[in-house]
Copies of this chain bind each other. A is one copy, B any other.
Amino acid sequence: MKQLEFHKERLRTFGLRPTKQRLDICRILFDRKNTFHFTIEKLKKIIEKNNKKKISLATLYNTIHVLKKKGYLKEISLKGNKTFFDTNTKKHHHFYDEGMSQLIDIDDKNISLNYLPKIPNGKKIKSIEVLVKIEKTN
C-alpha cells in the first residue's frame, strides 16, 4: 500500500491535509488501472459501500472540486442534469451511451480531424472534444 503514501504526499503538496475522507476518495478515484467516469452520487455510493460508513456530500463536492482545480480530474461536457467527472486528464474523447449513461474513452490518436473554419478573431483554441453517441443496434 505505498499508493496511500503517494496520495498523502500529493494532498500535502498543495496544502491539503490528508484526511481519512480525502484518502478514501483518492483511493477510489486513482487506485485503478482504467479511467473512471463518475458522478458525485455514484462516488458517494461506492465509498459508503466500501467502508460501511456515511460520507458527507459537502466533503465529496469540496474534494472533487479541489482535485479538478489542481488538474487531477476533468469535467466532461454532456447534456443532462448531473455532472460527470473523469480521472483521465489526458486529451481524449468519448463514446457515450446515453441510455446506459456510460462513457468509454477514445484515445486522442484514434481521432484525426481537419477543420477549416477560421477561429473567431482574438480567440485561440483551448481544447477539442469529440463525443460519439452510440446506441443499441436494431
A→B interface (CB under 8 Å):
75-79, 83, 95, 97-98, 104, 106-107, 110-117, 119-120, 122-137
Contacts and interface: CB of A to CB of B under 8 A. Distances in A.
Helix, strand, loop or mixed for chain A's interface?
strand
A119 B133 CA distance: 10
A110 B115 CA distance: 5
Given A78-B77, A79-B78, A111-B113, A127 B119 contact: no
Given A112-B115, A123-B136, A127-B133, 16 more contacts: A75-B79, A77-B131, A78-B79, A79-B83, A95-B119, A95-B120, A97-B120, A106-B115, A106-B117, A122-B136, A124-B135, A124-B137, A126-B135, A128-B131, A129-B130, A129-B131
A128 B119 contact: no
A67 to B, nearest CB: 16
